[in-house]
Structure 1
Protein backbone atom coordinates (compact mmCIF):
# COMPACT_ATOMS: atom_id res chain seq x y z
CA UNK A 1 0.00 0.00 0.00
CA UNK A 2 1.13 3.55 -0.67
CA UNK A 3 0.70 5.66 2.44
CA UNK A 4 0.88 9.43 2.02
CA UNK A 5 2.30 11.21 5.05
CA UNK A 6 1.96 14.89 5.91
CA UNK A 7 4.18 16.13 8.72
CA UNK A 8 6.51 18.73 10.16
CA UNK A 9 9.78 19.76 8.56
CA UNK A 10 11.04 21.17 11.84
CA UNK A 11 13.70 19.68 14.09
CA UNK A 12 12.84 21.79 17.15
CA UNK A 13 9.81 19.81 18.31
CA UNK A 14 8.98 17.33 21.08
CA UNK A 15 11.33 14.30 20.83
CA UNK A 16 8.37 12.01 21.56
CA UNK A 17 6.99 12.91 18.11
CA UNK A 18 10.21 11.63 16.53
CA UNK A 19 10.00 8.36 18.48
CA UNK A 20 6.36 7.78 17.45
CA UNK A 21 7.14 8.70 13.82
CA UNK A 22 10.09 6.32 13.78
CA UNK A 23 7.87 3.49 15.08
CA UNK A 24 5.30 4.21 12.36
CA UNK A 25 7.98 4.26 9.66
CA UNK A 26 9.43 0.99 10.95
CA UNK A 27 5.96 -0.57 10.82
CA UNK A 28 5.51 0.62 7.22
CA UNK A 29 8.88 -0.76 6.18
CA UNK A 30 8.46 -4.10 7.92
CA UNK A 31 5.06 -4.51 6.26
CA UNK A 32 6.47 -3.59 2.82
CA UNK A 33 4.41 -0.42 2.46
CA UNK A 34 5.55 2.63 0.54
CA UNK A 35 5.63 6.07 2.12
CA UNK A 36 4.79 9.01 -0.14
CA UNK A 37 5.99 12.21 1.49
CA UNK A 38 7.50 15.63 0.95
CA UNK A 39 11.07 14.35 0.71
CA UNK A 40 12.80 16.89 2.98
CA UNK A 41 15.78 16.04 5.15
CA UNK A 42 14.40 17.94 8.14
CA UNK A 43 12.13 17.08 11.06
CA UNK A 44 9.51 14.37 10.96
CA UNK A 45 9.82 14.25 7.16
CA UNK A 46 13.38 12.96 7.40
CA UNK A 47 12.39 10.66 10.26
CA UNK A 48 9.53 8.98 8.36
CA UNK A 49 11.62 8.56 5.21
CA UNK A 50 14.65 7.18 7.02
CA UNK A 51 12.74 4.80 9.30
CA UNK A 52 10.61 3.41 6.46
CA UNK A 53 13.62 3.03 4.16
CA UNK A 54 15.82 1.39 6.79
CA UNK A 55 13.06 -1.09 7.71
CA UNK A 56 12.76 -2.28 4.10
CA UNK A 57 9.93 -0.12 2.80
CA UNK A 58 10.03 2.03 -0.29
CA UNK A 59 10.03 5.83 -0.20
CA UNK A 60 8.62 8.21 -2.77
CA UNK A 61 9.75 11.76 -2.17
CA UNK A 62 7.69 14.50 -3.83
CA UNK A 63 10.20 17.30 -3.81
CA UNK A 64 9.58 20.89 -4.88
CA UNK A 65 12.49 22.19 -6.94
CA UNK A 66 13.09 25.00 -4.44
CA UNK A 67 13.68 22.36 -1.73
CA UNK A 68 16.16 20.49 -3.91
CA UNK A 69 17.99 23.70 -4.86
CA UNK A 70 18.20 24.60 -1.17
CA UNK A 71 19.96 21.32 -0.38
CA UNK A 72 17.12 20.03 1.79
CA UNK A 73 16.30 16.84 -0.13
CA UNK A 74 16.45 13.63 1.88
CA UNK A 75 18.99 10.97 0.95
CA UNK A 76 16.48 8.24 1.88
CA UNK A 77 14.33 8.75 -1.23
CA UNK A 78 14.02 5.67 -3.45
CA UNK A 79 11.86 7.35 -6.09
CA UNK A 80 12.02 11.11 -6.55
CA UNK A 81 9.20 13.08 -8.08
CA UNK A 82 10.17 16.69 -8.71
CA UNK A 83 7.45 19.30 -8.72
CA UNK A 84 7.21 23.03 -9.26
CA UNK A 85 5.38 24.15 -6.12
CA UNK A 86 3.40 23.10 -3.06
CA UNK A 87 0.12 22.77 -4.98
CA UNK A 88 1.77 20.28 -7.35
CA UNK A 89 3.26 18.47 -4.36
CA UNK A 90 -0.14 18.06 -2.71
CA UNK A 91 -1.71 16.78 -5.93
CA UNK A 92 1.10 14.29 -6.54
CA UNK A 93 1.10 12.97 -2.97
CA UNK A 94 -2.69 12.57 -3.06
CA UNK A 95 -2.66 10.91 -6.48
CA UNK A 96 0.14 8.50 -5.51
CA UNK A 97 -1.39 7.48 -2.16
CA UNK A 98 -4.05 4.98 -1.15
CA UNK A 99 -4.58 6.59 2.26
CA UNK A 100 -3.10 9.71 3.88
CA UNK A 101 -1.82 10.17 7.42
CA UNK A 102 -1.18 13.50 9.13
CA UNK A 103 1.51 13.41 11.78
CA UNK A 104 2.12 16.52 13.86
CA UNK A 105 2.78 19.44 11.54
CA UNK A 106 2.21 23.10 10.90
CA UNK A 107 0.49 25.29 8.35
CA UNK A 108 1.58 23.14 5.41
CA UNK A 109 0.18 20.00 7.03
CA UNK A 110 -3.14 21.74 7.71
CA UNK A 111 -3.29 22.82 4.07
CA UNK A 112 -2.62 19.25 2.94
CA UNK A 113 -5.21 17.72 5.30
CA UNK A 114 -7.97 20.04 4.20
CA UNK A 115 -7.12 19.86 0.50
CA UNK A 116 -7.54 16.08 0.59
CA UNK A 117 -10.64 16.18 2.81
CA UNK A 118 -12.36 18.93 0.78
CA UNK A 119 -11.78 17.14 -2.51
CA UNK A 120 -13.18 13.96 -0.92
CA UNK A 121 -16.37 15.78 0.15
CA UNK A 122 -16.96 16.93 -3.43
CA UNK A 123 -16.37 13.44 -4.83
CA UNK A 124 -12.98 13.67 -6.53
CA UNK A 125 -11.81 10.60 -4.60
CA UNK A 126 -12.73 8.44 -1.59
CA UNK A 127 -9.41 8.54 0.26
CA UNK A 128 -9.28 9.06 3.98
CA UNK A 129 -7.03 11.34 5.94
CA UNK A 130 -6.09 9.98 9.36
CA UNK A 131 -4.92 12.38 12.03
CA UNK A 132 -2.29 10.52 14.05
CA UNK A 133 -3.07 12.24 17.32
CA UNK A 134 0.27 11.72 19.08
CA UNK A 135 0.13 13.07 22.63
CA UNK A 136 -3.15 14.82 21.78
CA UNK A 137 -1.47 16.99 19.14
CA UNK A 138 -4.63 17.28 17.01
CA UNK A 139 -7.08 17.76 19.93
CA UNK A 140 -7.64 21.46 19.25
CA UNK A 141 -8.27 20.77 15.54
CA UNK A 142 -10.73 18.01 16.46
CA UNK A 143 -12.53 20.42 18.81
CA UNK A 144 -12.69 23.03 16.02
CA UNK A 145 -14.14 20.49 13.58
CA UNK A 146 -16.70 19.39 16.17
CA UNK A 147 -17.67 23.03 16.76
CA UNK A 148 -18.00 23.70 13.02
CA UNK A 149 -20.11 20.53 12.72
CA UNK A 150 -22.37 21.61 15.61
CA UNK A 151 -22.88 25.04 14.03
CA UNK A 152 -23.92 23.52 10.71
CA UNK A 153 -20.87 24.54 8.67
CA UNK A 154 -19.93 21.00 7.64
CA UNK A 155 -22.27 19.03 5.44
CA UNK A 156 -22.48 15.45 6.57
CA UNK A 157 -20.06 14.23 9.21
CA UNK A 158 -16.44 15.38 9.14
CA UNK A 159 -15.49 11.98 10.56
CA UNK A 160 -16.56 10.43 7.25
CA UNK A 161 -13.52 12.12 5.64
CA UNK A 162 -11.06 12.57 8.47
CA UNK A 163 -10.38 9.80 10.97
CA UNK A 164 -8.47 10.04 14.24
CA UNK A 165 -5.97 7.50 15.58
CA UNK A 166 -4.60 8.06 19.06
CA UNK A 167 -2.13 5.15 19.07
CA UNK A 168 0.04 3.33 16.56
CA UNK A 169 -2.17 0.26 16.95
CA UNK A 170 -5.28 2.29 16.04
CA UNK A 171 -3.45 3.82 13.09
CA UNK A 172 -2.15 0.54 11.69
CA UNK A 173 -5.61 -1.04 12.10
CA UNK A 174 -7.17 1.80 10.06
CA UNK A 175 -4.53 1.38 7.36
CA UNK A 176 -4.94 -2.40 7.31
CA UNK A 177 -8.72 -2.04 6.98
CA UNK A 178 -8.25 0.21 3.92
CA UNK A 179 -5.90 -2.32 2.31
Structure 2
Protein backbone atom coordinates (compact mmCIF):
# COMPACT_ATOMS: atom_id res chain seq x y z
CA UNK A 1 0.00 0.00 0.00
CA UNK A 2 1.64 3.15 -1.18
CA UNK A 3 -1.12 5.77 -1.03
CA UNK A 4 -2.60 6.11 2.41
CA UNK A 5 -5.57 8.39 3.03
CA UNK A 6 -5.84 9.80 6.52
CA UNK A 7 -9.04 11.25 7.93
CA UNK A 8 -8.53 13.42 11.00
CA UNK A 9 -9.35 16.56 12.93
CA UNK A 10 -8.64 20.06 11.68
CA UNK A 11 -8.95 21.42 15.23
CA UNK A 12 -6.02 23.04 17.00
CA UNK A 13 -7.82 22.92 20.37
CA UNK A 14 -7.26 19.24 21.15
CA UNK A 15 -5.05 17.37 23.60
CA UNK A 16 -1.32 17.32 22.69
CA UNK A 17 -1.20 13.50 22.67
CA UNK A 18 -3.30 13.47 19.49
CA UNK A 19 -0.92 15.89 17.76
CA UNK A 20 2.02 13.74 18.81
CA UNK A 21 0.43 10.56 17.44
CA UNK A 22 -0.34 12.35 14.15
CA UNK A 23 3.30 13.45 13.91
CA UNK A 24 4.48 9.89 14.62
CA UNK A 25 2.30 8.54 11.83
CA UNK A 26 3.52 11.28 9.49
CA UNK A 27 7.13 10.39 10.24
CA UNK A 28 6.45 6.71 9.51
CA UNK A 29 4.77 7.60 6.21
CA UNK A 30 7.80 9.63 5.16
CA UNK A 31 10.38 7.12 6.33
CA UNK A 32 8.59 4.41 4.34
CA UNK A 33 8.19 6.62 1.24
CA UNK A 34 4.40 6.53 1.28
CA UNK A 35 2.01 9.03 -0.25
CA UNK A 36 -0.22 10.85 2.22
CA UNK A 37 -3.67 11.56 0.81
CA UNK A 38 -5.59 13.91 3.08
CA UNK A 39 -7.95 16.86 3.24
CA UNK A 40 -5.29 19.52 2.67
CA UNK A 41 -6.02 21.79 5.65
CA UNK A 42 -3.32 23.84 7.36
CA UNK A 43 -4.78 23.30 10.84
CA UNK A 44 -5.06 20.66 13.53
CA UNK A 45 -4.01 17.07 13.12
CA UNK A 46 -4.08 17.55 9.36
CA UNK A 47 -1.20 20.03 9.39
CA UNK A 48 0.75 18.18 12.12
CA UNK A 49 0.50 14.96 10.11
CA UNK A 50 1.41 16.56 6.79
CA UNK A 51 4.34 18.56 8.21
CA UNK A 52 5.87 15.48 9.81
CA UNK A 53 5.25 13.38 6.71
CA UNK A 54 6.88 15.86 4.36
CA UNK A 55 9.83 16.47 6.73
CA UNK A 56 10.47 12.73 6.60
CA UNK A 57 10.21 12.32 2.82
CA UNK A 58 6.56 11.53 2.08
CA UNK A 59 4.75 12.95 -0.90
CA UNK A 60 1.64 14.88 0.05
CA UNK A 61 -1.62 14.88 -1.89
CA UNK A 62 -4.25 17.30 -0.63
CA UNK A 63 -7.87 17.04 -1.69
CA UNK A 64 -9.08 20.56 -1.13
CA UNK A 65 -12.73 21.63 -1.20
CA UNK A 66 -13.64 25.08 -2.49
CA UNK A 67 -14.69 26.35 0.96
CA UNK A 68 -11.25 25.56 2.39
CA UNK A 69 -9.64 27.63 -0.35
CA UNK A 70 -12.09 30.50 0.17
CA UNK A 71 -11.17 30.64 3.87
CA UNK A 72 -7.40 30.47 3.32
CA UNK A 73 -7.10 27.12 5.08
CA UNK A 74 -5.00 25.23 2.52
CA UNK A 75 -1.66 23.81 3.62
CA UNK A 76 1.44 25.04 1.80
CA UNK A 77 2.97 21.54 2.07
CA UNK A 78 1.08 19.92 -0.81
CA UNK A 79 2.99 18.25 -3.64
CA UNK A 80 -0.24 17.54 -5.52
CA UNK A 81 -3.52 19.38 -5.09
CA UNK A 82 -6.89 18.04 -6.14
CA UNK A 83 -9.59 20.69 -6.12
CA UNK A 84 -13.01 19.41 -5.05
CA UNK A 85 -16.28 21.28 -5.35
CA UNK A 86 -17.66 20.01 -2.02
CA UNK A 87 -17.13 17.45 0.72
CA UNK A 88 -18.84 14.63 -1.18
CA UNK A 89 -16.48 15.16 -4.10
CA UNK A 90 -13.55 15.30 -1.68
CA UNK A 91 -14.43 11.91 -0.16
CA UNK A 92 -14.80 10.28 -3.57
CA UNK A 93 -11.42 11.60 -4.74
CA UNK A 94 -9.67 10.52 -1.54
CA UNK A 95 -11.19 7.06 -1.86
CA UNK A 96 -10.22 6.79 -5.51
CA UNK A 97 -6.65 8.00 -4.96
CA UNK A 98 -5.77 5.80 -1.97
CA UNK A 99 -5.17 2.16 -1.18
CA UNK A 100 -6.39 2.26 2.42
CA UNK A 101 -7.87 4.80 4.84
CA UNK A 102 -6.71 5.57 8.38
CA UNK A 103 -9.02 7.34 10.82
CA UNK A 104 -7.11 9.35 13.37
CA UNK A 105 -9.21 11.04 16.04
CA UNK A 106 -11.56 13.54 14.48
CA UNK A 107 -14.96 15.12 14.57
CA UNK A 108 -18.07 15.08 12.42
CA UNK A 109 -16.11 15.40 9.17
CA UNK A 110 -13.98 12.39 10.04
CA UNK A 111 -17.08 10.38 10.93
CA UNK A 112 -18.64 11.37 7.61
CA UNK A 113 -15.55 10.18 5.74
CA UNK A 114 -15.35 6.90 7.66
CA UNK A 115 -19.00 6.04 7.10
CA UNK A 116 -18.79 7.02 3.43
CA UNK A 117 -15.97 4.52 2.89
CA UNK A 118 -17.60 1.76 4.92
CA UNK A 119 -21.03 2.18 3.29
CA UNK A 120 -19.53 2.11 -0.22
CA UNK A 121 -17.56 -1.02 0.68
CA UNK A 122 -20.64 -2.69 2.14
CA UNK A 123 -22.45 -2.57 -1.18
CA UNK A 124 -19.46 -3.48 -3.33
CA UNK A 125 -18.10 -0.25 -4.76
CA UNK A 126 -14.62 -1.11 -3.51
CA UNK A 127 -12.77 -3.47 -1.16
CA UNK A 128 -10.80 -0.87 0.82
CA UNK A 129 -10.87 -0.79 4.60
CA UNK A 130 -10.76 1.92 7.20
CA UNK A 131 -8.26 1.46 10.01
CA UNK A 132 -9.34 3.18 13.20
CA UNK A 133 -6.21 4.42 14.95
CA UNK A 134 -7.62 4.17 18.46
CA UNK A 135 -5.33 6.67 20.19
CA UNK A 136 -6.07 6.80 23.93
CA UNK A 137 -9.23 4.74 23.29
CA UNK A 138 -10.70 7.60 21.24
CA UNK A 139 -12.81 5.28 19.06
CA UNK A 140 -13.99 2.91 21.83
CA UNK A 141 -17.54 4.27 22.03
CA UNK A 142 -17.98 4.20 18.26
CA UNK A 143 -16.60 0.66 18.07
CA UNK A 144 -19.06 -0.44 20.76
CA UNK A 145 -21.89 1.17 18.80
CA UNK A 146 -20.80 -0.61 15.60
CA UNK A 147 -20.81 -3.87 17.55
CA UNK A 148 -24.34 -3.07 18.74
CA UNK A 149 -25.44 -2.55 15.13
CA UNK A 150 -24.31 -6.11 14.42
CA UNK A 151 -25.87 -7.57 17.56
CA UNK A 152 -29.24 -5.98 16.75
CA UNK A 153 -29.07 -6.97 13.06
CA UNK A 154 -29.04 -3.44 11.66
CA UNK A 155 -26.22 -4.48 9.34
CA UNK A 156 -26.26 -7.37 6.89
CA UNK A 157 -22.63 -8.41 7.05
CA UNK A 158 -19.98 -8.34 9.78
CA UNK A 159 -18.67 -4.79 9.97
CA UNK A 160 -15.15 -6.16 10.51
CA UNK A 161 -15.22 -6.71 6.74
CA UNK A 162 -14.96 -2.94 6.37
CA UNK A 163 -12.61 -1.84 9.13
CA UNK A 164 -9.74 -2.78 11.39
CA UNK A 165 -8.56 -1.31 14.69
CA UNK A 166 -5.03 -0.37 15.71
CA UNK A 167 -4.39 0.70 19.29
CA UNK A 168 -0.68 1.48 18.82
CA UNK A 169 1.52 2.83 16.06
CA UNK A 170 3.11 -0.61 15.80
CA UNK A 171 -0.27 -2.25 15.21
CA UNK A 172 -1.16 0.42 12.68
CA UNK A 173 2.05 0.14 10.72
CA UNK A 174 1.74 -3.67 10.56
CA UNK A 175 -1.66 -3.19 8.93
CA UNK A 176 -0.21 -0.64 6.48
CA UNK A 177 2.78 -2.72 5.35
Structure 2's unaligned 5+ residue stretches are none
**Mapped partners of 1:154, 1:112: distance in 2:** 18
Residues 114-148 of structure 1, C-alpha deviations (whole Å, 9 max, x = no match): 10001001010000100000000000000100111
Distance apart, 1:156 and its partner CA: 1.6
**4+ long deviations beyond 3 Å:** none
**Cα distance in 2 for residues equivalent to 1:66 and 1:157:** 36
Corresponding residue number in structure 2 for 1:115:
116
Distance 1:168 1:49 in 2: 17
* Separation in 2, partners of 1:41, 1:2: 20
Alpha-carbon distance in 2 for matches of 1:21, 1:70: 24
In the alignment of these two chains, the number of paired residues is 176
Q: TM-score, normalised by structure 1?
A: 0.97
Q: How does 1:62-141 map to 2 (within 5 A)?
A: 62-141=63-142
Task: Report the Cα offset of residue 15 of structure 1.
Answer: 0.4
Counterpart Cα distance in 1 of 2:80 and 2:162: 28
Alpha-carbon distance between aligned partners in 1 of 2:121 and 2:82, rounded to the nearest angstrom: 24
- Structure 1's unaligned 5+ residue stretches are none
Partner of 1:49: 50
- Report the RMSD for the aligned CA atoms in angstroms: 0.6
| Other-structure match for 1:175 | 176
